[in-house]
Amino acid sequence: MKYVIKNKFISLGGSSTVTDDAGNDLFLVKGKIFTFTKKKQILSLNKEILYQVRNKFFALFLPKVYLMDAEGNEILMIKKKSFFSLRQDFDIVTPEGAEHAYSIDGDMIGRHYDILDNGIPVAHVRRNFNLVKDSFWLETDMTENAPFFIAFVIALDNYYDKLRSDND
């Protein structure tokens, strides 16, 4: 199934909409207005918190983004594999003993990504560049894990927003 994640044109906290490819609303992404960590919540349509995403407050060279469950427990941390890498590949750090070993393999310009679980592709992400707002297409056959993969995409968006704001 394909999911479309679009940042809202005017949003103080960085909210987004999540729809299917026909334009039907599926999930909500709400950003907090006054936060240094760009905290966002992935919500069901009935406003139940499914996942949370936030940046690390201070990172020396490259941003780090945390993906957390509804209660705020850290599930994983996303960071770029190498400072000098030309490819947009990310390491996913999970707590000790986690059953999944996720990674993100991207192309050189950061437009296409594959989310891998133990080396097997489970989702594909396409990032659309725009001067006004970003949008992403997520494609996965694992519809039961869609909110989790949407949280991955929001984490990638947070990563690039942090890079962009640090360079302004």
Domain ranges of the chain: 2-166
Q: Which of the listed CATH numbers 2.60.40, 2.50.20, 2.40.160, 2.40.30 matches domain 2-166? A: 2.40.160
pLDDT score, position 2 = 94
With vertex at residue 23, the alpha carbon angle to CA 18 and CA 27, rounded to the nearest 5 degrees, is: 25
Query: pLDDT tens digits, residue range 52-81?
Result: 998 765 555 677 888 999 999 989 888 876
pLDDT score, position 39 = 86
pLDDT score, position 37 = 58
pLDDT score, position 48 = 96
Of the pLDDT bands very low, low, confident and very high (cuts 50, 70, 90), residue 95 is confident
- Is the predicted pLDDT of residue 11 greater than 60, yes or no? no
Average pLDDT score over residue span 20-44: 84
pLDDT score, position 157 = 82
- Determine what percent of the chain is predicted with pLDDT higher than 90: 35
Cα four-point dihedral sign 115, 131, 17, 163: positive
**How distant is the alpha carbon of residue 150 from its chain centre?**
6
pLDDT score, position 167 = 45
- Is the predicted pLDDT of residue 148 greater than 70, yes or no? yes
With vertex at residue 85, the alpha carbon angle to CA 79 and CA 88, rounded to the nearest 5 degrees, is: 55
Q: What tokens does 138 get?
A: 């997520």
HEC secondary structure over the chain: CEEEEEECCCCCCCCEEEEECCCCEEEEEEECCCCCCCCEEEEECCCCEEEEEEECCCCCCCCEEEEEECCCCEEEEEEECCCCCCCCCEEEECCCCCCCCEEEEECCCCCEEEEEECCEEEEEEEEECCCCCCEEEEECCCHHHHHHHHHHHHHHHHHHHHHHHHCC
pLDDT score, position 50 = 96
Average pLDDT score over residue span 99-113: 82
